[in-house]
Structure 1
Amino acid sequence: MKKKVLYTASTFGHLATFHQPYMRWFAEQGYEVHAAAGGEKKTLAGVSRLIELPFEKKMTAPANFRAAGILARLMREEGYALVSTHTALAAFFTRLALRRAGKSDTVMMNTSHGYLFDAETAGAKRWLLLGAERLCAPVTDYVLTMNRQDERIARQYHLGKAIVQTPGMGVDFSRFAPANAEQRSAARKAFGFSAEQVILVYPAEFSGRKNQRMLIEALPSLPENVGLLLPGRGELLEACVSLAAELGVSGRVVCPGFMSDVEMCYHAADLAVSASRIEGLPFNLMEAMHCALPVVASRIKGHEDLVIDGENGRLFPYNNKEAFVQAVCSLLSVQQRAAMGQAARRSVECYGLPTVYPKLIEIYGSALAGHSSQ
């Protein structure tokens, strides 16, 4: 009888975007791979069974506890050799389910794509989120972290039996290369930008955490030839469009919605920016950097692991519009952007899938070897 592996996440889309090479690897090793998540179902490489879960974004929503009940029954019935859980909400309820089901000899591996708190998080929220992680620590065999701050948090509070720092899940950089003159011209024309404009790009979900609002509010203080490209969707998209109109910068802000061909956005841009409050190891910045774009980003965990201030980009204090404007203005020179862009491209090569994949496979193999010896 085949041994089984379960992957969980808040959405099937997350699993499809980040984890298919690894699910395929488990299947190639002879494991039966199941995936449980919310959202629209996706075909996943190597996965033989998809289980729909009623996850909702609000942590305390009754539907999330129903999802934990479904997972607990699934774990009792299937007896998984390993459960690999991803995204903060799914990770909590997956581990809560394992507590209910009785851990047995299942290996629980929590890959933290970024704890939703840090040292700057307000007390009550921080202790609630940290408390949830500490509650789950006794059933967590491995915590895989992606940035130095999260590794320190996991070690300080003993959030798993083994804490392993990783370079993320690996980015497939095959689509993300510096634009040639023809690609740049075509991309700019598609978005309505002129050759003289300096374009800032920030592909992200429109949310309070991603903080597109600050970028729009800063735009009137930047030279008039600076434009802002904001691909993505989310609940704050319309509010951001309205804000641009109120500030009189609608002509300088383009919000094209979700784009599957996001590389076109990087080809149109001169700088990648991020105003985010908290991150794990953001794919959008790594993709942009591999396209030889320097970065202007908030000084937070995740960003600090990627951006060396003054070498491949600039860091500014979170939500500080004046510092953001100064950082962008310091990179208005084409020559300086070119030099920093090349440094940015070199610095993210270590996060590419060919480099990261064997490292994670070694971790998975070691965890499963330990399980088989029990």
Structure 2
Amino acid sequence: MKKKVLYCASNDIHIKNFHIPYLKFFKDNGFEVHLASHGGMSFPYVDMKWDIAFEKNILSAKNLLAINTVKNILEQNHFEIISIHTTLAGAIVRAAIILAGKRNTRVIYTSHGYFFWNGGPFANWIKYLPPEKICAGVTDCVIAMNYEDFALAQKYKLCSGDVELIPGMGVDLERYKPYDNVKKRRMRQCYGIHENDFLVIYPAEMSRRKNHRELLKAFAIFLNHVPSGRLLLPGDGLLLKENLALAEELEILERVMFPGHIDGMEEVYPMCDMAVSSSISEGLPLNIIEAMACGLPIVASRIRGHIELIDDKRNNCLYLPGDAEGLARAMYDIFRSKDTLKTISIKNIEKAEQYSLEKAKERICAIYYKNM
């Protein structure tokens, strides 16, 4: 009988952005690949797609139905490996495993950033750490993407086996590269952006965690010093209307672009001048690595995930979360550092190479082999 793997994430966008190479890995190694995520997309290398209606609010009653659905899948199939990604899918799928019984299956949970962290809100620790402790008994391996999560998983014994550290899920560096000046001008014309605009980008889901409010307030201050500034905010989410309203209230809406979700970000980053992240919690953010690979200077909040990637002694800038004025100053410092931007660009491209798809895949596949 053919070996089976159940690969899980909360939604299809996550699968599309991170996981296709690893679906291929299991297919190439003779597995029948089952995928559990939410959405109507289809994917290569997948033999069976289960659309699980994961509800973003982890305490929603609808997630009880999702647990029962996954439990039924587990009772009807025997999986040699279950690979789980994202906090939401991690809680629901492992709850289903507890109810259905583990049946000699290797369960591997990859944390893309725990929702509790050193210095984080006490409420987050109360809400998110106990479920991780409960699920630890059915988790054979935890994979972390940053040193803090790695240490937390070890300290609180969040699995029964090994805790592993990886360099993220990997960025395809063949896709993410800088433009020369001619192509940069041409691409800006396509998007209606003047060649003299100072273009700042923050691609992220419109959510509380991504903290667009702080960036919008900082950008309003930044515009007082740099009237040529433009802010590009690709992404969808529940807070899109709220962020639009704030930009209008701050009287900066004509300088801020909300294009929604963009496929093909490799065409967008290189026409920008700076990348920013005001997030309050990250694992190892793909958007920062992609921007660095395209040679952009970075301004970001001083949080786990960012501090692994950004060396602000090399003229990137980290600021303390909650300090919109500090964020505006950091952005202005980068703007004024035009004479060193070439050096920053080279250093960031070199840094991004440490998180290439090739290197990440080698490490992640070694962990999967270890658990086969």
Give the TM-score taking structure 1 as reference length. Answer: 0.95
What are the superposed Cα offsets for residues 31-88 of structure 1, whole Å, 9 maximum, x if unpaired? Answer: 1110111122x22222100111121111122221111112122212211100000110
1:341 to 325, 329, 345: 345
1:309 aligned residue: 312
User: Where does residue 139 of structure 1 map in the other structure?
Assistant: 138
Task: State the distance in 1 between where 2:163 and 2:20 align.
Answer: 23
Aligned to 2:332: 329
C-alpha distance in 2 between matches for 1:215 and 1:184 = 25
- What amino acid sits opposite 1:190 in the alignment? C
State the match for 1:17 in structure 2.
17
Structure 1 counterpart of 2:239: 236
1:256 aligns with 2:283: no
1:330-369 equivalences under 5 Å are: 330-332=333-335, 333-368=337-372
Q: Which moved more, 1:295-304 or 1:348-357?
A: 348-357
* Aligned position for 1:177: 177
Q: Which position in structure 2 is the counterpart of 1:36? A: 36
Structure 2 residue aligned with 1:92: 91
Q: Secondary structure at the match of 1:164?
A: strand
State how far apart, in whole Å, the 2-side matches of 1:162 and 1:92 are.
19
Q: Give the 5 Å matches for 1:210-225.
A: 210-222=210-222, 223=225, 224-225=227-228
Q: Distance in 2 between matches of 1:30 and 1:189?
A: 48
User: Which is worse superposed, 303-312 or 345-354?
Assistant: 303-312
Unmatched runs of 5 consecutive residues or more in structure 2:
none
Aligned residue for 2:27?
A: 27
Q: 1:199 to 1:70 in 2, by over 3 A?
A: same
Asked whether the 8 Å contact 1:312–1:341 carries over to 2, the reply is no
Q: What displacement does 1:122 show?
A: 1.9
2:195 corresponds to 1:191:
no
Pair 191,239 (structure 1): closer, same or farther in 2 beyond 3 Å: farther
1:296, distance to aligned residue in structure 2 (A): 0.2
Return the offset for 1:272.
Answer: 0.5
Which range is displaced more, 298-307 or 188-197? 188-197
Residue aligning to 2:56: 57
Instruction: State the Cα deviation string for residues 337-373 of structure 1 (Å, max 9, x = none).
Output: 22112111100101111111111111101100xxxxx
Cα distance, 1:147 vs structure 2: 0.6
After superposing the two structures, state which structure 1 stretch, 90-99 or 219-228, moved more: 219-228
CA distance in 1, matches of 2:207, 2:249: 19
- State the shift of 1:312 in Å: 5.6
TM-score by length of 2: 0.95
Query: What's the CA shift for 1:119?
Result: 1.9
Q: Deviations over 1:82-136 (max 9, x none)?
A: 0000110111111111111111210000010111121222212212201110010
- Does the 8 A contact of 2:170 with 2:357 survive in 1? yes
Specify the code of the residue in structure 1 equivalent to 2:117.
D
- Bigger Cα displacement from structure 2, 347-356 vs 230-239: 230-239
| Offset at residue 194 of structure 1 (A) | 2.3
Residues 115 and 124 in structure 2, CA contact (< 8 A), matched pair in contact too: no
Instruction: Work out the CA distance in 1 between the residues paired with 2:194 and 2:294.
Output: 20
1:291-302 matches, within 5 Å, as 291-302=294-305
Number of residue pairs aligned between Structure 1 and Structure 2: 367
Moved over 4 A (4+): none
Amino acid at match of 1:54: A
Q: Quote the Cα distance in structure 1 between the aligned partners of 2:247 and 2:191.
A: 17
Question: What's the % identity of the aligned pairs?
Answer: 36
Alignment deviations for residues 146-201 of structure 1 (CA, whole Å, 9 cap, x no partner): 01111111011000121001111111122210011122112322333322222111
Q: SS of the counterpart of 2:158?
A: coil
